[in-house]
Structure formats: structure tokens, C-alpha cells
Amino acid sequence: MGDVTVVTGGTGFVGAAVVRHLVSAGARVRVLARPRGDRRLLAGLPVEVAEGDLTDPASLRRALAGAARLFHVGAFYSLWAADRRLFYDINVEGTRRVLEAAAEAGVSRVVYTSTVGALGIPPGGVGTEETPVRLEDMVGDYKRSKFLAEEVAREFAGRGLPLVIVNPSTPIGPGDVKPTPTGQMIVEFLRGRMWAYLDTGLNLVDVEDVAAGHLMAAERGRVGERYILGHENLSLREIFERLGRLSGIRPPRLKLSPGWILPLAWASEWMADHITRRPPLVAVDAVRMAKKTMFFDAGKAVRELGMPRSPVDDALARAVAWFRDNGYAPASPEHSRKIP
């Protein structure tokens, strides 16, 4: 067995952060990347690129040849797709394919990147790794597919694959190239397009802490266990207020319940599905998810892994600067409503 560490999803927001941390730790890194994918986050990093994707078993076997470790970060992360089957082919069957290749290669450790979206949340409370949850509780194809993918990961762990599961909450910071749904929310805020907010909440965490948590899970995580990689629980209003202080843009004051937005989301998604075939202005799943406050306790990862807890405001500030510096949002708030 070699000493190569393979990362799927290494060209994306979280995956690239994991790659950077591995390189800093002295690891030899091989990144699975689609032939025409955006690789700008790998620029300047001494990594090997293995072309392929999660739908191609032969490319996965080539990528994992001689590998010692696998960080399976790759996934189809979206709240809408013109073809809903993509969620299941990439997230569920893609996980099965890559774990089969890892088992064949005899890797000594796998870290599978899930999401807190696959976990349970008690009514009005804070979710943990142990909160009961069923597939029927999952809202939308993304969460359902990630729930099913976790079941695949646990199946492989039960069969002897040395696998640990991590469940990031809502990572923020620079390098959100796609951007993720949360990154897009920040971009829309910086463009002055947020005129109201929903009565919900999220657990925010610095993407660099998430990456560090992955490496710690590889070193210290218990096989078959899962670890929430998160930090601070904040209402959406609190998030916008913090963004307002950092950006100079006045946060929205109008609070809406998800029920008010749902008809607009249905209409927007119908247009996307049947006419434009482009992402909707408002995704139905995003509104339905907002009915649950996504608050979680990351204490297990802190206790067992030693995961760091960097200030969320610092990560938000770096995200704002990165989106502005890279043309996602105007460099100044002059076009928007300034804070008085």
C-alpha cells in the first residue's frame, strides 16, 4: 500500500480546504476531478489530479490505486436540479462506487463527508449525532440522498471498512466558487437584494475548522461513528445583522414565515422545471427546510477530535472580502441600502 491520500470533491469549497490542510500536513494528495471541472482552488498546490467522476467506477479504481486514505467529500450539493436523479446517482450510488473502490484498494482510513441535513432535530431544540431521525423526515432530494448515502457508508463500516463519518453544518469562508446555497445567500445580501428574512436559523462554522475536523476524524475518529463539524447557532436575522456590520449594507427588517414564500417558490420552480431549465429564483426545498431551525451541538467533535472553534465573524468577514474581490458582488455597498 502506498502513502497517497485521495480526495473526491477536492475542487469544491470544503474539499479544497481539506486538500490545503492535507498539503500543509505534508501528505501526498491525489484529487479526483472531472475533466472540464473548475480547478482554480487547486492553483499552486502540489497535488496530483486523477481525472474521473463518481459515476465512472473505472476512474475511481484508477484514482484509488495505491492509496492509503480516502476523504470522500464529493457530492451533488444543490436545492434543485433539472434531473432529480442526479442526487441519487452521485450522492448515493457514487458513494457506493467509491467505497467499493476504496475497499478493493485496501485503504487504511476513510472519512466520509455527510451533512447535518441528514441528522435529526428535536422540536424546538438542538440536534446531535444521536437525535432520532427517519428518511421520512428528510426534506427534498438533497437531504434524502445524503441520508441514504450515510446508510451506505455505515453499511461499509459494518463490513470492515475503517470509515468515519463527519457531518459539517454550514461552512463559510473564502473559496466558495459555485457558490453553495449559503454562499449564494451572502452574495445576494452583498448585492442588496435581501429585502426580507425568514424566521429560521443555521449553525455556522469556519470552513477551515471543517477541514481541520476532517483530518482530526482521520486520526482520532472512532470507526462507524459520526461527528458534527459545526460551531455557532444563529438566527437568520442575526446572520444578516452580522453581515450588515461587516459589509456596510443595511440588513432587512421584514420577517416572513416560510408559508408566505412557499407559493412564490412553487411558481418559480415550475418555471425552472418546465420552461427555463435553469435554477429557480426561490427553491421549494429551501423554503420547506426553513420551517426547521437548523441548530446543532458539535460538542462530540470538540471533545473526541479536538476540533477548533474559530470566530464565525472572522469567517464571514473573509467570505465577504472573497466574494467582492472575485467579482461575485460589488466592491462597495453604494448601490445598496447603507446602514444609517
Q: Which amino acid is at 193?
A: R
Question: What confidence score (pLDDT) does residue 280 get?
Answer: 61
Residue ranges covered by each domain of the chain: 4-177+204-234+296-313
Q: Is 3 helix (H, G, I), strand (E, B) or coil?
A: coil
Contact 153, 114 (CB under 8 A): yes
- DSSP codes joined into one string, 165-222: EEEE-EEESS---S--HHHHHHHHHHTT---EEES-EEEEEEHHHHHHHHHHHHHHPP
User: Which tens digit of pLDDT belongs to each residue from 3-31?
Assistant: 899 999 999 999 999 999 999 999 999 99
Match domain 4-177+204-234+296-313 to its CATH number in 3.40.50.720, 3.40.50.9100, 3.40.960.10, 1.10.240.10: 3.40.50.720
Going by pLDDT thresholds of 50, 70 and 90, the confidence category of residue 149 is very high
Torsion angle (degrees, nearest 10) of CA 204, 78, 329, 19: 70
Residue 173 has pLDDT above 90, yes or no: yes
Contact 73, 9 (CB under 8 A): yes
Q: Which amino acid is at 168?
A: P
Give CA angle at 320 (13, 80), nearest 5°.
Answer: 50
Strands 67-72 and 28-33: unpaired
Q: Mark out the alpha helices in 248-289 (DSSP H runs).
A: 258-271, 284-289
User: Which tens digit of pLDDT belongs to each residue from 63-89?
Assistant: 999 999 999 999 988 766 677 899 999
Closest to 230 in 3D by CA, of 335, 300, 313: 300
In the chain, the percentage of residues whose pLDDT exceeds 90 is: 74
User: Which tens digit of pLDDT belongs to each residue from 31-40?
Assistant: 999 998 899 9
Q: Buried b vs exposed e over 188-218: b needs ≥16 C-beta within 10 Å?
A: ebbbbebeebbebbbbbbbbbbbbbbbbbbb
Q: Which amino acid is at 140?
A: G
Instruction: Please indicate, yes or no, whether the overall pTM of this predicted structure exceeds 0.85.
Output: yes
